[in-house]
Amino acid sequence: MHLEVVTPDKTVFEGEATAVTFPGSDGEFQVLNDHAPMISALGKGAMTIKTSGKEEIVSVDGGVVEVLKNKVIVLAESVIEA
């Protein structure tokens, strides 16, 4: 699936991911390929991006995620890349 993580200042990540784990406002959740369409609010915490053979952790300070047809867009308020 294609993942984009953007803030008001810059694009933090853009590329293919196999799984993404988010800090939801009501708890942690994971999105995989062919996930059902959804929009969710993000809480403050670590977002884990898994790509083929690699894992990246990005700390978000809230935002929104949209999942639709294997495209995931994250609009984050701010991020701290680990």
pLDDT in tens, 8-45: 999 999 999 999 999 998 899 999 999 999 999 999 99
How many CA atoms are closer than 13 Å to the CA of 80, on its beta-carbon side?
A: 6
Sign of the dihedral defined by the CA atoms of residues 16, 79, 77, 50, in that order:
positive
Query: How many whole angstroms separate alpha carbon 70 and alpha carbon 24?
Result: 19
pLDDT surpasses 60 at 82: no
Q: CA angle at residue 74 from 69 to 78, to 5 degrees?
A: 175
Ordered by where they begin, the domains of the chain are 2-81 (2.60.15.10)
Query: Residue 81: what pLDDT?
Result: 64
- The tokens describing 41, both together, are 């609010």
